[in-house]
Structure 1
Amino acid sequence: MLRDGSLVLAATAMTPSLLMSQKAFADDSARAVRVGLVTDLHYADKSPAGTRHYRESIDKLETARQQFTNDEPDFLVELGDLIDAADSVEVEQQYLKTINTKFAAICDERHYVLGNHCVDTLTKQEFLAGVEKEHSYYSFDREGIHFIALDSCFRSDGEPYGRRNFHWTDANVSAEELEWLRGDLQSNSKPTVVFAHQRLDVSNHHGVKNNAEVRKAFEESGDVLAVFQGHSHQNDLKEIGGIHYCTLAAMVEGSGPESNGYSVLDIQPDGTIKIKGFVRQASYQWNT
């Protein structure tokens, strides 16, 4: 149903995961966590290609910055493909420096999910160094919420993406990362939100090839509330195993301010999750 212009999704059955998440949210001292979300900026100093307007992502991000300044998120998450491919490492690093300088000015705390275009020319280590991060997958806690950032930029043989050594349709969570994920979820009892780039809810070219194993880990934990992802450049929302998989619109698509897309995510102490979308990004709300 619609409420305040947003799509409200309520669970029709009280699954074990929902029972657990409601219990975990019962701490009266907790406050809402607010997150600014952007994805698929594909920034590059090059001419448009098809519907992708690479240079315009700078101005679109500035518009998002103004909104985030008003809304004051606790942290920002960039869901992958911050940059597009360049012909050389030096040029690619300049693309990254240019867009990340703008992104870093918005908020002190920022998280970066690796996208396939982030490591088209660069290695993972080079990209992470450019955004001053150490790890491509990790977890952290804020106000009683557990957050996980995943890296699906591995080939089927386990090799990490880098320097055009991959095909974008061969996206996987590595065996080592999957083992880490299971352990991280097993050691956690907090309501959990996951950030990813490649989609974990589809089996087409935009999907992680071993996404069924990843979803199984989520469902067995009983704590994962939602997954936020990019990659396919479109608004989409699915519910699988009691978990919401929300795909966000790409910032790079289309020309002009009317083609922008970004959002503010609020996770309330009572378990309500609300995504306030701007411009082309849809708004959603659901209650657990």
Structure 2
Amino acid sequence: MLSLAVSLKMNPANAPLTRRTFIQNGTLVLAATSASSLPLYAANADSELCVGLVTDLHYADKPAGGSRHYRETLGKLEEAALQFERDQPDFVVELGDLIDAADSVATEQKYLRTINQKFSSICNSRHYVLGNHCVDTLKKQEFLDGVGQEKSFYSFDQGDYHFVVLDSCFRSDGVAYERKNFKWTDANIPAEELEWLAADLAATAKHVVVFAHQRIDVNNSHGVRNNAEVRNVLEKTGNVKAVFQGHSHQNDLNDINGIHYCTLVAMVEGSGAANNGYSVLRLAADGTIRLSGFRNQIDRDFS
């Protein structure tokens, strides 16, 4: 009998909660460790969307560097996949830095094939946000071709929501990141993309959720340099509910002018299953958003 612990949630104080999930003979079962075990998720309601989220996997077949354990993200993603199998998301999103840097195009493409084989098996409907490490050695089109995605920034509708995928991998002069031609602290959303974003948001009356890699809510090295301009576009229509982002590797949340900017924890940080982090996002028709975090990811509730 195979017994593999998965889906152990962590609270904001990083203390384990009281419910564990195991696989026994290929079937997911639950083992409560005390009488105070938390309730399971309810089955997806017809009016509710479910989205699986991961970020900053930095997969690479190379030794750990500092707190980043590159090879271990394969196993961590497998754990997340088991949780997503249980929750049956409508689609899954990786918020950037799916791979880490390599010394050659061929090596980086190998990293991408390896991790995307795992990621693409989770769900037929997937979305990839470009991170700076995704195009450290590769060109954007090489990354997109590797994952089967047509564009680096775009939008789509599902249910009562309009979703936007942004690409901040541009230098201040508007040149796209590729082949080590950039500094990671110089992240920008260029004028052409901002014009598209303004028109796209003006054309929808649905609740809007944005997916990004570099942060739009801070002015430090992890932030998009023209973040104030981007936020101004997001705020104009009044229907943007939340932005989910990665890049800085730590849980964070800022509420700015009615928009929730939620930064998710990186999967690559720390060794062992206890240092994993991934999320299930639930979006109700009335605009209520609930983020259920696992392992080191904090739960969030937005109205």
TM-score, normalised relative to structure 2: 0.85
User: Distance between the aligned counterparts of 1:145 and 1:269, measured in 2?
Assistant: 8
For the pair 1:221 / 2:237, whether they are aligned, the reply is yes
For the pair 1:98 / 2:114, whether they are aligned, the reply is yes
For the pair 1:284 / 2:294, whether they are aligned, the reply is no
Contact 1:6 1:285 in 2 (8 A): no
For the pair 1:71 / 2:87, whether they are aligned, the reply is yes
Report 1 or 2 for greater relative contact order, CA contacts < 8 Å, sequence distance ≥ 6: 1
Question: Cα deviation per residue 1:64-112 (whole Å; 9 max; x = unaligned)?
Answer: 0000000000000000000000110001000000000000000000000
For the pair 1:128 / 2:144, whether they are aligned, the reply is yes
Percent of counterpart pairs with the same letter? 65
Contact 1:30 1:269 in 2 (8 A): no
Pick one of 213, 229, 232 that aligns with 2:248: 232
For the pair 1:203 / 2:219, whether they are aligned, the reply is yes
Pick one of 237, 241, 244 that aligns with 2:260: 244
Contact 1:35 1:75 in 2 (8 A): yes
Pick one of 278, 284, 297 that aligns with 1:262: 278
Match of 1:160 in 2: 176
Match of 1:272 in 2: 288
CA-atom RMSD in angstroms: 1.3
Structure number with higher helix proportion: 1
User: Distance between the aligned counterparts of 1:44 and 1:206, measured in 2?
Assistant: 22
User: Distance between the aligned counterparts of 1:207 and 1:82, measured in 2?
Assistant: 19
Pick one of 50, 55, 60 that aligns with 2:66: 50
Deviation at 1:188, TM superposition (A): 1.1
Which amino acid letter does the alignment assign opposite residue 222 of structure 2? Answer: H
User: Distance between the aligned counterparts of 1:30 and 1:137, measured in 2?
Assistant: 28
Which amino acid letter does the alignment assign opposite residue 224 of structure 1? Answer: V
Contact 1:79 1:112 in 2 (8 A): yes
For the pair 1:184 / 2:197, whether they are aligned, the reply is no
Q: 1:6 to 1:91 in 2, by over 3 A?
A: closer
Deviation at 1:286, TM superposition (A): 1.9
Deviation at 1:272, TM superposition (A): 1.4
Contact 2:222 2:248 in 1 (8 A): yes
Deviation at 1:30, TM superposition (A): 6.5
Q: SS of the counterpart of 1:219?
A: helix
User: Distance between the aligned counterparts of 2:222 and 2:65, measured in 1?
Assistant: 20
Which amino acid letter does the alignment assign opposite residue 52 of structure 1? Answer: R
Deviation at 1:144, TM superposition (A): 1.8
Question: Cα deviation per residue 1:29-81 (whole Å; 9 max; x = unaligned)?
Answer: 96111000000000000000000000000000000000000000000000000
TM-score, normalised relative to structure 1: 0.89
Q: SS of the counterpart of 2:106?
A: helix
Spell out structure 1 runs of 4+ moving beyond 4 A: none
Q: 1:201 to 1:107 in 2, by over 3 A?
A: same
Deviation at 1:149, TM superposition (A): 0.1
Deviation at 1:6, TM superposition (A): 8.2
User: Distance between the aligned counterparts of 1:101 and 1:185, measured in 2?
Assistant: 33
User: Distance between the aligned counterparts of 2:58 and 2:249, measured in 1?
Assistant: 11
User: Distance between the aligned counterparts of 1:198 and 1:283, measured in 2?
Assistant: 21
**More deviation, 135-144/265-274:** 265-274
User: Distance between the aligned counterparts of 1:174 and 1:141, measured in 2?
Assistant: 24
Which amino acid letter does the alignment assign opposite residue 221 of structure 2? Answer: H
User: Distance between the aligned counterparts of 1:269 and 1:171, measured in 2?
Assistant: 34
Which amino acid letter does the alignment assign opposite residue 286 of structure 1? Answer: F
Which amino acid letter does the alignment assign opposite residue 240 of structure 1? Answer: I
Match of 2:29 in 1: none
Which structure 1 segments of 5+ residues have no match?
Answer: 8-28
Deviation at 1:270, TM superposition (A): 2.2
Q: SS of the counterpart of 2:89?
A: coil
Q: SS of the counterpart of 2:127?
A: strand
